[in-house]
Amino acid sequence: MVELLLDAGALLGESPVWHAAEARLYWVDIEGRKIHRTDVATGADDVMEVAEQIGCIAPRAGGGLIAALENGCAIIDRWDGAPQPFGPAVLADKPHQRFNDGRVDARGRLWVGSLTSDKSNPDAALYRLDPDGSLTEIFGRLTTSNGAAFSPDGGTFYHADTPTHAIRAYDVDADAGTLSHGHIFHQFALGNGRPDGAAVDAEGCYWSALWDGWRVVRFSPRRAAPYGRDAGTAPDDDRVRRPDLRTAFVTSAGKNLTDEERAGQPHAGGVFSFRVDVPGLAQQMFGG
């Protein structure tokens, strides 16, 4: 059973991250330029406003957050602290781009991609931000980098370029911080939603939230076919409880809706939760 956790009214909700040490859900409203810190037990929601759009965030091992902004990444040492640039402002000369989705690996590196507003010119890219602040381009020719997630053993990296409707899987060389043997893991049919944010659970199954698809799907790592159920059709005995890595959180968007669409989607821009049978994976901390 899917439940509304927070009727936040976000323009473009993204990057839900469970911070176990704080027992808080962090997430961002990209176009609202806000970072949210939500107490799921009480519904209290702290909001931090920043000057740039925020593609994604992740907790740091030393405290605070790493944030991927419009032009580059930044460290936020404490709640309500000003973002401090970390690494090169690689997108500063690309006003049609901004950073988007990302994921931290077991070595404390942030794998983060960009998107371009010029969809006819695929010049966005996936990067690796190391704890020392160095930034390495992994591959380019993307339009909307999304769906970043690692298998439980760190040996597989999943990634989606959203407009292609495809999820790809890569072998990971953890020591070198490189990818190889990329192949299509699943190809969605046109008109049924596009792969957006993602996560991997303890069984290694890949969960994909579909933009304009109204559902979340789970794929077995052993075959590229849907495995499980849509988030919206969970059985009635699935009760959303306090997070123990068995509660899934999904953000949504409320931008660009007509009055008629908004009337039919009164909670667009909210954060939703639902109970899952298989636990998720603990969030890795950025090492910088």
Task: Enumerate the active-site residues.
Answer: 196
Burial code of 114-148, b = ≥16 C-beta within 10 A, e = fewer? bbbeeeeebebbbbbbbbeeebeebeeebbbbbbb
CB under 8 Å to 161, separation ≥6 — which residues?
A: 122, 142, 143, 144, 145, 146, 168
Nearest to 28 by CA among 10, 4, 42: 10
- Angle, vertex CA 192, rays to CA 218 and CA 240, nearest 5: 40
Report the chain's C-alpha Rg in angstroms: 18
At 231, give phi and psi (nearest 5°): -60, -30
CB under 8 Å to 64, separation ≥6 — which residues?
A: 75, 76, 77, 78, 79, 81
- Note whether 209 and 237 are within 8 A (CB): no
- The side-by-side arrangement of strands in the sheet containing 206-211 is 194-200, 206-211, 215-219
How many angstroms separate the CA atoms of 141 and 124, rounded?
Answer: 6
